[in-house]
Amino acid sequence: MTKNSARNLFFIGTFACMVIFFALSIHTMSTIPEFTHSENLTDDVVAGKKVWEKYDCIGCHTLIGEGSYYAPELKDVYSRKGPAFLRAFLKDPVKIWYGTAEAAAGWRKMPNFHLPEEEIDHLIAFFEWGDKIDTHNWPPRPQKGVAQATGSAATVGAITGEAAMDLQVQQGEALVQEKACTACHKIKGTGAPVGPDLTGVTKRLDVEIVRKRLRDPKSVNPDSIMPNFGFSDAEIEVIIAYLKTL
Amino acid sequence: MKYQSHSVAYNHFVVALLLFALQVIAGLFIGVQYVFPDFFYQIIDFNVMRTIHINLLIVWILIGFMGASYYLVVEESETEVWSPGLANIHLVGFVIGGVAAIVGYLFGWTDGREFLEQPFIIKLAITVVVLAFVLNIIMTIIKGGRWTSVQIVLVMGLVGAALFFLPALGNHVGLYDNLSVDKFFWWWTVHLWVEGVWELIMGAMLSFLLLKLTGVDREVLEKWLYVIVGITFFSGILGTGHHYYWEGYPSYWLWIGGIFSASEPFAFLGMTIYAFTMMELAGRTHPNRVAIYMTLGCAIFAFLGAGVWGVMHTLPMINKYTHGTQITASHGHLAFFGAYAMINIAMMAYAIPAMKGSDGFNKRTGLTAFWLMVIGMSDMTLALFGAGVVQAFMERYNHVPFLDVQNQMGLFYAVRLAGGVVFAVGVFYLIKAFFEPGEKRSA
């Protein structure tokens, strides 16, 4: 190969790759509405992206895997933690995560940006929209907890008596994990102090009260910020079975 | 000095080195925060200094490229720079813009998009500066009338860098309200710079250094330069797809990105073979050992950092678990150092003695700097790689929450910090070598 043929190959190859790249880019842009549900891209979401940029959030966090690796991935933070937790956390990160400043000493923690209420609303709207972007199931997250617990129990075979109780507790624990109850409640020392501690809750409160709260948090306390998770009766029973063991 | 306008290159090199030192200090700062999270918490938080760290990286690499380009073009064209005055003005402009951006970050003046955090007005200033620089380079080559292949590839790289900076402006005019659209064009600047046009700049500089250090026939060198940059673009342009796996785009990017980006190491492997073969062909040793070490070091560490460390996690089935972990940080550190920091340093190590005679660049101190930087960077890369493997396995694969994993990885970050300290000492020696006389008279 001579220098001239090498040069020509370079120019032709570059041109061809560029043409293909631009064509694919145009096609990708045409699929954006479908992949990102851009019909839900409200003014609040756009304002939320501006808040995200204003405080240089990407200087610590990653968002769909890009950013700074110092703080957690936030693509799916809305479905992992829910709006009630996010609101409480953004108002006072250290208190929600560690309880006190002393408990947080020596550990990684988010600074308090003293965000105005409105900016918190926008940020949560941005996370809620971002949560629905079709990223081919990235980041990889576990399968639903209950399905796992039931699946493993099914392999045990017929379930009676004590084994059935154990299974209920297992299912309840899995459900508590799946719904990230510790995002707001403490359980045996881990979790955030937004709502009441759940350790020994069935001993402090009447089980019927716990049942009512799980069915509709506002039915007992109208000011409760706990979301209604829409638990079925069966799900409520397994959660209570688990809470009784604490 | 043979050419008066070499002083233009010298000025750029001095500024680049000082910014490099500041970048490393910012790096040490956040390295300490990884180990002691309370360090300057709520005073200068991690995000602020991290932004400064990566912005200084870009600014010093670009100013280094500019200085090296002026040196190279003057030598290749055998003429003075078209307008040395313009060169010094745009250097001052770049420094003012850069310092304004850095100080601004300390006070929360930011656009909050990684690498492109510069506020709109600063981005516009950078655009003007870069255009003035590219104009000056092209006019100098036209004045000299010698369009060598090294200069053609260099100019393609510089013009490409200017062109692909334009998409970075889109967020300021409201084009990127949709996060997925934002990320798509963000990569046009970020990827097509570091895995595209910057490689052309690097290839041109590497060829220039090999020409000067080995005296091998120009025809042979330039042919292989075209082969290498051909592979760069063939793999790199469609290789952009390896950033498009998980961001809300069609799944064909998993195939295209995977296949083409997996070929990206061949360009770097080509450069390594190229550099070593030419050195061998020359059959004689150039007296400037520091320049030879830095040039070959660049060829090796660009291949390891950008090539091997990149291809390891570029396939979608692996990237699914490693994406957004410390593996990326490990790769980023070694790739930027090996490819772009070292080519700039190699150009300095060659150019300073060449323009100042025995007055420039102390050999012994320069070699100490080389080894300290290489050892320090290898330590950081391996420590972050270890952290990344643990993180990918525990967090992505076993679904352990982020902080539960991070809070147990203190040892990795302490080892990384130690490497950072060694590296910083190396940079201190590099600056010392830069200003010391070339040969010690006594001893």
Calpha distance A143→B442 (Å, rounded): 72
pLDDT at A155: 37
Residues in A closer than 8 angstroms to B183, CB to CB, are 64, 66
pLDDT at A215: 87
Torsion over CA of B334, B336, B340 and B341, rounded to 10 degrees? -70
User: Average pLDDT of chain A?
Assistant: 87
CA distance B363 to chain A (A): 36
Instruction: Look at chain B and report how many structural domains it folds into.
Output: 2
HSE of B234, CA atoms in CB hemisphere, 13 A: 16
Find the residue in A nearest to B197 (Cα).
A14
Residues in A closer than 8 angstroms to B233, CB to CB, are 10, 13-14, 17
Return the CATH number at B106. 1.20.120
Number of neighbours of residue B360 by Cβ within 10 angstroms = 20
- pLDDT single digits (tens) B136-175: 999 999 999 999 999 999 999 999 999 999 999 999 999 9
Nearest to B339 by CA among B310, B371, B382, B369: B310
- Asked whether residue B332 is domain-assigned, the answer is yes
- pLDDT single digits (tens) A155-190: 334 445 556 677 778 888 888 887 888 888 888 888
Asked which of B142, B161, B179 is the last residue of a domain, the reply is B142
- Asked whether residue B246 is domain-assigned, the answer is no
CA distance A125 to chain B (A): 13
CA distance B423 to chain A (A): 21
pLDDT at A191: 82
The model's confidence at residue B266, banded by pLDDT at 50, 70 and 90, is very high
Over range A142-154, report the average pLDDT.
46
Cα-Cα-Cα-Cα dihedral sign, residues B43, B48, B53, B58: negative
Q: Give the number of beta-carbon pairs within 8 Å between A and B.
A: 193
For residue B55, give its domain range: 1-142
B320 closest CB neighbour out of A13, A59, A138? A138
- Asked whether residue B298 is domain-assigned, the answer is no
Residues in B closer than 8 angstroms to A108, CB to CB, are 37, 403, 406-407
- Asked whether residue B184 is domain-assigned, the answer is no
- Asked whether residue B436 is domain-assigned, the answer is yes
Calpha distance A217→A90 (Å, rounded): 22
Q: Is residue B440 over pLDDT 70?
A: no
Residues in A closer than 8 angstroms to B251, CB to CB, are 136
Q: Please classify residue A190 by burial: count the beta carbons closer than 10 Å to its beta carbon, then call 0-12 exposed, 13-18 middle and 19+ buried.
A: exposed
- Asked whether residue B291 is domain-assigned, the answer is no
Nearest to B27 by CA among B370, B345, B380, B328: B380
Asked which of B142, B174, B200 is the last residue of a domain, the reply is B142
Asked which of B86, B116, B142 is the last residue of a domain, the reply is B142
- Asked whether residue B286 is domain-assigned, the answer is no
User: Average pLDDT of chain B?
Assistant: 95
Backbone angles phi, psi at B92, to 5 degrees: -60, -40
Contact between A106 and B38 using a beta-carbon 8 Å cutoff: yes
State the complex-level ipTM.
Answer: 0.95
- pLDDT single digits (tens) B184-239: 999 999 999 999 999 999 999 999 999 999 989 999 999 999 999 999 999 999 99
- Asked whether residue B299 is domain-assigned, the answer is no
The model's confidence at residue A230, banded by pLDDT at 50, 70 and 90, is confident
